[in-house]
Amino acid sequence: MRIVKERALMEDNPLHQILHPTSIAWAGASNNFQKMGTIQLLNLTKGGFKGAVYPIHPSEKTVLGLPAYRSARDLPEVPDLAVLVVPTRVVAPLMEDLGRRGVKRAIVTSGGFREMGPGGRRMEEELAEVAGRHGMRFVGPNCIGVINERCRLNTTFFPLRDEEPGTVGMASQSGTYVTQTQLYLKNRGIRFSKAISVGNEANIDVIDCMEYLAADEDTRAVLLYLEGIRRGRRFVEVARRIVKNKPVVALYVGGTEAGARSGTSHTGALAGDDGIYNGMLTQSGVLRAGSVEELYAWGITLASQPPMRGRRVCLLSHSGGPVTSMADACERAGLVLPVFSDGLQGRLRELLPATAAAANPVDLTFSIDQAVLAKDIPQRVLESNEVDGLIIHGIMGSSFREILARQLKDFIDVPIQFMEDIDHGLLGELVTFPQRYGKPVLCSSFMEREDNCTRYLQDHGIPVFYGPEKAVQAMAALARYGEMCRR
């Protein structure tokens, strides 16, 4: 019943058609590859989008090899969506034409509106008026576009990665955070389900997006980048309804004088006092990230891991430094490191070398037995009733091994592939633990995505952070989310 209702809500939402068009009219691309609009259209067509695409161009016969149409009137059918990447003054007249042709959904990438002061504000009002008159709903203006990985829809200037759709849905008042960050996210194993750059929010705003992403089945956590919210009361209403079923994380940067000033010239956002926003986010059950990095990191964590049922953490590593860094960070973040019972310590000691510490943190010291680190200890810890979550530092494979193999090549052959198969066998069990035990497992490593173990874990739902304290912060987010859900 709930699902049916959510689906109905979703299909009602103006974003549904914008994110699932079967045909798109595109104004502002040409055969000049110096132009943003051309690069955007290229990304759409080369990116695997299967629908019809109709370039609108006043003079060219074809655009990027596609037949072009001189105006909205000449389009061979009424497209589900129009994308406008045209000079500011042309936007409203073109929307008028599109409206008359029966187009109901649009994305306006063009800038030069409210963010430019009074003159731009008037043009934005005119644009909104035209759309209203024709019953059109649109994203933008002054936005970068949208991404729906599921149907390979990408209207931004940044190419899509050739991968499966992800689980993190994002609505952003900055286009950068859905485009330029693609490679950064790739290096951390994070993929979008949907992403929407909302721009000036003249028609569809970040709250509409949050509502849509909450109902979207591919999306398991909703991320918001905010410079300001106009409909504060509505934000709280919608967020409150959503958060117990789907976590929402927000980065709000308009709360300082400098942030507010910068935001105004960026998207004309109406920033407000940091304390008031903080209260609003807390009241709504939205987790507030402190940086772009945390926004994404907590997003993938909440999307992939069960919330903590308490605040008790086990730290596990063969590296004393990182566990000590994590222990310190845990206490600062309000997480608890219980000293394990004699019974559990006994069960762990059976697996540990003599020099190891079993009380929690569990420090294997010089042991390099991956099975102990990545499977046996985790299992015994998680099946106990003594912890609510586990952080492992130092699972690693190919990155160190390949360097070692080069050093060893005069003496022995290191069976790289064989060892990777063993890694993946062990990790194949570890990745099932969060669901099996209902407790989150996070990893920290200084071996990034070039390492087969890091890749395997990230690609199978265990976040791997490049820094021990980051894993702790993400675990603390799972604790806060768990507490919020139980309230």
Within 256-275, which residues bind a second copy (CB under 8 A)? Answer: 256-259, 261-263, 265-267
Residue among 355, 417, 432, 435 that touches a second copy (CB under 8 A) = 355
Helices (H), 216-291: 232-243, 257-267, 274-284
Query: Which residue's CB is nearer to a second copy, number 148 or number 317?
Result: 317
Site for a second copy in 71-110 (CB under 8 A): none
Residue nearer to a second copy on the CB measure, 14 or 159: 159
467 lies in the site for a second copy, by CB under 8 A? yes
68 makes contact with a second copy (CB under 8 A): no
SS3 label, residue 369: coil
Run of H or E including 353: none
Taking the complex as a whole, the smallest distance from the CB of residue 1 to a second copy amounts, in Å, to 39
Strand ranges across the sheet with 389-393 = 362-363, 313-317, 389-393, 441-444, 464-465
Stretch near a second copy under the rule CB under 8 A, chosen from 9-17, 202-210, 322-330, 476-484: 322-330
List the interface residues with a second copy, window 200-239 (CB under 8 A).
225, 227
174 binds a second copy (CB under 8 A): yes
> How would you classify residue 139: left for phi > 0, otherwise alpha for psi between -120 and 50, otherwise beta?
beta
- The span from the CA of 104 to the CA of 82, in Å, is 8
Candidates 9, 359, 419, 485; binder of a second copy (CB under 8 A) is 359
Nearer residue to a second copy within complex by CB, 189 or 394: 394
Q: Which two tokens stand for residue 273?
A: 């006092």
- Is the Cα dihedral 392, 305, 145, 238 positive or negative? negative
Number of residues in the chain: 487
Q: Which is nearer to a second copy, 218 or 446 (CB)?
A: 446
Segment interacting with a second copy, rule: CB under 8 A, options 8-16, 94-102, 323-331, 380-388 = 323-331
By the rule CB under 8 A, 370 interacts with a second copy: no
When asked if residue 385 is in the footprint of a second copy (CB under 8 A), the reply is no
What's the rounded Cα separation, in Å, for the pair 336 and 326? 11
Per CB under 8 A, the list member of 5, 46, 230, 244 interacting with a second copy is 46
Stretch that binds a second copy, among 6-14, 146-154, 214-222, 327-335 (CB under 8 A): 327-335
**Do the beta carbons of residue 361 and residue 351 sit within 8 Å?**
no
Q: How far apart are the first and last CA of the chain?
A: 23
